[in-house]
Amino acid sequence: MGSAYLWVKAFHIVFVASWFAGLFYLPRLFVNLAMVASDSHAERARLLLMSRKLYRFAGILMVPAVALGLVLWLGYGIGLGSGWMHLKLLLVLLVLAYHFACGHMLRRFEQNANAHGDRWFRVFNEVSVLLFASTVVLVVVKPF
């Protein structure tokens, strides 16, 4: 494989890591939002603004991350027919679901309809770390 492959792979890694940075921090903002006192309108508004901007930015980063991953998989044949790739694709679907779940939770905060406490969001925050670590180990080790 030539240098174009290495460029695609490098940018895929950059965009995936950047996307995950947003997914690591957004639920932390949700923890803070869940802890805001009901009479603290300015703090709530500031946290909602930060959350909206971060969700939008993470969404922008998601697009080239997924697109470049598809180029590696379908264009260069990386992992075609491999068991580890099937699991990686499942993990990617879970990450996409996590991303969109964050968007749903953000809309619930905007509507003053959040149903979860800060402890729940602390646990939810760890899901992105587990997804990221699992994906990286799977891609590097290729256990099957």
pLDDT of residue 101: 98
Longest CA pairwise span in the chain (Å) = 59
User: Which amino acid belongs to residue 49?
Assistant: L
Residue 1 has pLDDT above 80, yes or no: no
CB 55 within 8 A of CB 106: yes
Structural domain that includes position 110: 3-141
Query: Domains in the chain: how many in total?
Result: 1
d(CA 33, CA 120): 12
pLDDT in tens, 101-134: 999 999 999 999 999 999 999 999 999 999 999 9
pLDDT in tens, 28-81: 999 999 999 989 999 999 999 999 999 999 999 999 999 999 999 999 999 999
